[in-house]
C-alpha cells in the first residue's frame, strides 16, 4: 500500500508544507475517530480532474467500523461522492446527508474542510452509523462535542498543530482516560477511566471544577500547553505509580477555550522496563564473568605450554589456548551490549591481531578484512569466531613453510584477506592467502587436522552451512551459513 506522501505525489501537485500538514493530521487522528465514534476518511482532489482520491482512513476503537475494507488509494468520482464535491466547492462543513455503504448500511456523513495557512487542501469525512435505538449518554455527548471543537480547528487550519508530535507506543488514547478542562484549566468533565488514573496518583476527592495542581497532582503539561498553545506530554509519578498526561489545547483563533487531557496509567509498563534493565545488567555481568573465566583458563594454558619443550604437546596446548581466547572475545563484546547479539565486524579484528602476533619476525602475517557481516546472535557468532580463528591460524602456519625455497629472504610476509558478505539470509566469509595452496586431492573430510575437523563440524553440523576449499593463487576457503533464524546454543565439540 502506498504511503500518504506517495499518493499525494501521484495524484496531486501538493507542495511539501501541505504534505507535512496532512501527514500530521493522519498521524494522530485515531484520537479524533475515537472521540466521534466514527470512521474518518481524508479526500484530496485529483489534479486536472473533478475526481477525488482517498489518501487516509482510520477506524474507531470505540465503535464498529462501517468500512472493513481499505479505501486508501481509491479514486472516487463526483457522482459517487457529491457531498465531498459540494464541501470542496463551498469550503465549509456539510452534514446531515445519509447514504448507503458498501455493506448496505445507512450512514450519516459530515464533511469537514481541511485548511493549511488559509488554503483548502482536503476534505475529511466523518462517517457514522445512524443511531436510532437509544439516546447517547453523557460521555458520548461530551466526546462528540470535543470532536466538533477539534473539527472547527481543522476547518480554520489550527489543527493539526504546526509541530511534529512524538507518538510513542504508550501515548494515551481516548479509551485510557479523558479529562476536559475549561479556559481556566479547571475540570469540566472526567471519564471513569480518567478518574481511575487520578486515583492512582492519590487524588480521591471530587475533581469537577478544580485544577489538577490544586488537587495535589504536580505537573507542567497543562500550564505549558495553555501558555504555548501547543500539545504537551509529560509523565507524572507518585511512588510506584506513573501516569502519562497529554494535554491538547482547544483553540478559537488566538484564544485557548479549554483543553483535552488524555491520561494513561503506565505503572506496569515502567515496572516491566525496570525489570528488563535489571535483566540486561545481569546478562551483561554473566558475559563479563564468563569472559574473565575464559581469560583465566587461557592464561593457565599459556603458562603450561610455555613450560613445556617444543613438540606436539606444546603445540596442542598453544592451539587450545587460542581457541579459548577466540570465544572470550565474543563474550567480551556481549558484556558491553544490551542484547544477545554482536556485530561480527567487532570480533574479526581481535582474531586477526591474535594471528598476526603468532607469526612474529620469522613468519610475518598481514591480514586485511573487508565487507560487513552485520549483527549475529551469540549462538551463531561464538562458533563462527572459532571457525574464523582456525582458518586464520591454518593460513599463518601452512600457507608457506618457513624457509620456503621460493622465498629468498625467508621472511616474506604471508598476506591473508578476509572478505565478508551478507545478503540478509546468509553470511559468506572467504579467507584467501598467498601461500602454496592445498596439496593435490586435499579435502577437509579426509584431513587428519584437528583444526579442520573443528571447522567442518561447526560449519556443517551446528551452523547448517557449507564449506568449500580450493586453490586460486593460494588457498581459498569459503564458508556460508544461514543467519535469518536463531541457531541453537553453542556447544563444545
104 vs 162, residue with greater confidence: 162
* 350 band by pLDDT with thresholds 50, 70 and 90: confident
The domain boundary residue, chosen from 227, 249, 265:
265
In a domain, 201, yes or no: yes
User: Are 251 and 318 in the same domain?
Assistant: no
Q: Are residues 82 and 185 in the same domain?
A: no
Q: What is the CATH number of the domain that holds 360?
A: 3.30.565.10
**Residue 208, helix vs strand vs coil:** coil
Whether 345 and 466 map to the same domain: the answer is: yes
Predicted confidence band of residue 402 (pLDDT cuts 50, 70, 90): very low
Tell me the three-class secondary structure of 7-60, residue by residue. HHHHHCCCCHHHHHHHHHHHHCCHHHHHHHCCEEEEEEECCCCCCEEEEEEECC
Do 282 and 400 sit in the same domain of this protein?
Answer: no
**Average pLDDT of the residues in 404-432:** 78
Burial 282-301 (b: 16+ CB within 10 A, else e): ebeeebeebbeebbebbeeb
> Does position 407 have pLDDT exceeding 60, yes or no?
no
Give the pLDDT band of residue 113 (cuts 50, 70, 90).
very high
Q: What mean pLDDT is predicted for residues 401-425?
A: 71
Which pLDDT value is given to residue 474?
A: 87
More confident residue, 404 or 416: 416
Residue 132 has pLDDT above 60, yes or no: no
CB 435 within 8 A of CB 475: yes
Q: What is the pLDDT of residue 238?
A: 73
- Angle subtended by helix axes 312-334 and 378-398, to nearest 10: 140
Give dist(CA 56, CA 73) in Å, integer.
8
Q: List the domain range (segments joined by +) for residue 79.
A: 4-156
Q: Are 321 and 300 in contact (CB under 8 A)?
A: no
Residue 478 bridge partners (DSSP): 430, 468
Q: Using the 8-state DSSP alphabet, how is residue 462 labeled?
A: I
Residues 361 and 488 in one domain: yes
Yes or no: say if 214 and 207 are a contact pair by the CB < 8 Å rule: no
Q: Is residue 165 part of a domain?
A: no
- Kindly state whether residue 223 falls inside one of the protein's structural domains: yes
CATH number, domain of 197, equals 3.30.450.20
User: Are 316 and 286 found together in one domain?
Assistant: yes
Number of domains in the chain: 4
What per-residue confidence (pLDDT) applies to 204? Answer: 67
Q: Residue 106: which H helix or E strand, with range?
A: strand 106-116
The set of cell numbers assigned to 461 is: 553440523
Q: Tens digits of per-residue pLDDT, 256-313?
A: 999 999 999 888 877 777 776 666 677 677 767 877 887 888 788 878 878 788 877 8
Question: Final residue of a domain: which of 129, 156, 183?
Answer: 156
- Specify the pLDDT at position 493: 40
Asked whether residue 246 is domain-assigned, the answer is yes
Section 86-105 average pLDDT: 76
Q: What is the mean pLDDT of residues 354-371?
A: 78
Stretch 170-174: mean pLDDT: 86
Residues 48 and 145 in one domain: yes
Q: Are residues 119 and 225 in the same domain?
A: no
Q: Is pLDDT larger for residue 264 or for residue 378?
A: 264
- Residue 334 and residue 443 in one domain: no
Same domain, 151 and 258: no
Nearest alpha carbon to residue 246 among 267, 256, 260: 260
Average confidence (pLDDT) over 235-239: 79
Query: How far is residue 145 from each of residues 58, 81, 195, 207, 305, measured CA to CA in Å?
Result: 19, 26, 20, 20, 83
Tell me the per-residue pLDDT of 304-317, one tens digit each, with 9 for 90 and over.
878 788 877 877 78
Q: 258-275 b/e with 16+ CB inside 10 Å = b?
A: bbbbbbbbbbeebeeeee
According to the model, what pLDDT value does residue 110 have? Answer: 92
Which of the listed residues 209, 239, 265 is the one where a domain comes to its end? 265
3-state secondary structure of 93: coil
Residues 450, 360: one domain? yes
Kindly tell me if the per-residue pLDDT of 412 is higher than 50.
yes
- Residue 11 falls within a domain, yes or no? yes
Computed over every residue of the chain, the mean pLDDT equals: 83
Rounded to the nearest 10 degrees, the angle between the axes of helix 312-334 and helix 267-306 is 160
Residue 104's contacts (CB-CB under 8 Å, 6 or more residues apart) are none
Report the CATH number that the domain containing residue 38 is assigned in CATH: 3.30.450.280
pLDDT band of residue 169 (cuts 50, 70, 90) is low
Q: Would you say residue 361 has pLDDT above 70?
A: no
Residue 23: per-residue pLDDT: 94
Look up cell 499518493; give the residue.
Answer: 7
Residue 303 inside a domain? The answer is yes
Specify whether the CB–CB gap between 394 and 414 falls below 8 A.
Answer: no
- Examine the pLDDT at 168 and tell me if it is beyond 50: yes
Q: What is the pLDDT of residues 180-221, one digit of tens each?
A: 999 999 999 999 998 888 888 877 667 888 888 877 788 888
Could you tell me if 242 and 274 lie in one domain? no
Instruction: Say what the pLDDT of residue 491 is.
Output: 42
pLDDT at 405 over 50: no
**Chain segment 220-233, per-residue pLDDT in tens:** 889 999 999 999 99
Residue 35, in any domain of the structure: yes
Q: What is the pLDDT of residue 101?
A: 57
Other CB atoms within 10 Å distance of the CB of residue 367: 23
Q: Is residue 282 part of a domain?
A: yes
157 vs 461: CA distance, rounded Å: 64
pLDDT > 60? residue 490 = no
Amino acid at each position: 500500500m502506498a504511503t500518504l506522501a506517495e499518493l499525494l505525489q501521484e495524484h496531486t501537485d501538493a507542495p511539501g508544507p501541505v504534505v507535512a500538514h496532512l501527514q500530521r493530521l493522519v498521524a494522530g487522528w485515531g484520537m479524533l475517530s475515537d472521540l466521534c465514534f466514527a470512521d474518518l476518511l481524508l479526500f484530496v482532489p485529483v489534479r486536472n480532474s473533478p475526481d477525488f482520491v482517498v489518501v487516509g482512513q482510520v477506524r474507531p476503537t470505540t465503535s464498529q467500523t462501517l468500512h472493513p475494507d481499505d479505501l486508501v488509494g481509491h479514486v472516487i468520482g463526483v457522482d459517487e461522492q457529491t457531498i465531498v464535491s459540494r464541501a470542496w466547492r463551498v469550503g465549509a462543513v456539510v452534514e446531515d446527508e445519509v447514504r448507503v455503504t458498501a455493506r448496505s448500511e445507512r450512514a450519516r456523513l459530515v464533511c469537514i474542510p481541511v485548511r493549511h495557512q488559509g488554503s483548502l487542501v482536503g476534505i475529511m469525512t466523518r462517517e457514522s452509523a445512524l443511531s436510532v435505538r437509544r439516546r447517547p449518554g453523557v460521555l458520548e455527548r461530551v466526546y462528540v462535542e470535543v470532536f466538533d471543537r477539534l473539527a472547527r480547528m481543522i476547518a480554520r487550519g489550527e489543527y493539526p498543530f504546526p509541530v511534529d508530535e512524538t507518538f510513542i507506543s504508550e501515548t494515551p488514547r481516548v479509551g485510557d482516560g479523558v479529562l476536559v478542562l475549561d479556559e481556566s484549566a479547571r475540570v469540566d468533565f472526567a471519564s471513569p477511566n480518567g478518574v481511575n488514573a487520578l486515583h492512582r496518583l492519590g487524588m480521591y476527592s471530587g475533581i469537577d471544577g478544580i485544577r489538577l495542581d490544586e488537587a495535589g497532582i504536580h505537573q507542567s503539561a497543562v500550564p505549558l500547553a495553555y501558555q504555548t498553545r501547543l500539545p504537551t506530554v509529560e509523565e507524572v509519578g507518585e511512588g510506584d505509580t506513573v501516569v502519562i498526561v497529554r494535554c491538547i489545547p482547544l483553540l478559537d483563533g488566538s484564544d485557548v477555550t479549554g483543553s483535552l487531557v488524555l491520561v494513561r496509567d503506565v505503572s506496569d509498563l515502567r515496572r516491566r522496563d525496570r525489570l528488563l534493565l535489571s535483566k540486561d545488567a545481569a546478562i551483561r555481568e554473566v558475559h563479563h564473568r564468563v569472559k574473565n573465566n575464559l581469560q583465566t583458563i587461557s592464561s593457565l594454558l599459556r603458562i603450561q605450554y610455555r613450560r613445556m619443550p617444543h613438540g606436539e604437546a606444546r603445540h596442542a596446548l598453544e592451539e587450545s589456548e587460542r581457541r579459548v581466547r577466540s570465544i572470550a572475545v565474543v563474550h567480551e563484546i556481549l558484556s558491553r551490549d544490551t542484547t544477545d547479539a554482536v556485530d561480527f565486524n567487532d570480533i574479526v579484528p581481535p582474531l586477526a591481531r591474535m594471528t598476526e602476533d603468532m607469526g612474529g619476525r620469522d613468519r610475518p602475517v598481514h591480514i586485511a578484512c573487508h565487507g560487513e557481516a552485520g549483527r549475529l546472535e551469540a549462538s551463531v557468532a561464538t562458533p563462527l569466531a572459532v571457525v574464523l580463528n582456525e582458518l586464520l591460524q591454518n593460513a599463518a602456519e601452512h600457507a608457506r613453510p618457513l624457509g620456503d625455497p621460493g622465498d629468498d629472504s625467508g621472511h616474506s610476509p604471508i598476506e591473508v584477506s578476509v572478505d565478508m558478505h551478507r545478503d540478509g539470509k546468509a553470511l559468506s566469509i572467504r579467507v584467501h592467502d598467498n601461500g602454496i595452496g592445498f596439496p593435490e586431492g586435499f579435502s577437509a573430510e579426509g584431513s587428519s587436522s584437528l583444526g579442520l575437523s573443528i571447522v567442518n563440524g561447526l560449519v556443517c553440523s551446528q551452523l547448517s552451512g557449507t564449506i568449500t576449499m580450493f586453490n586460486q593463487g593460494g588457498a581459498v576457503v569459503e564458508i556460508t551459513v544461514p543467519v535469518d533464524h536463531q541457531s541453537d546454543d553453542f556447544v563444545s565439540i
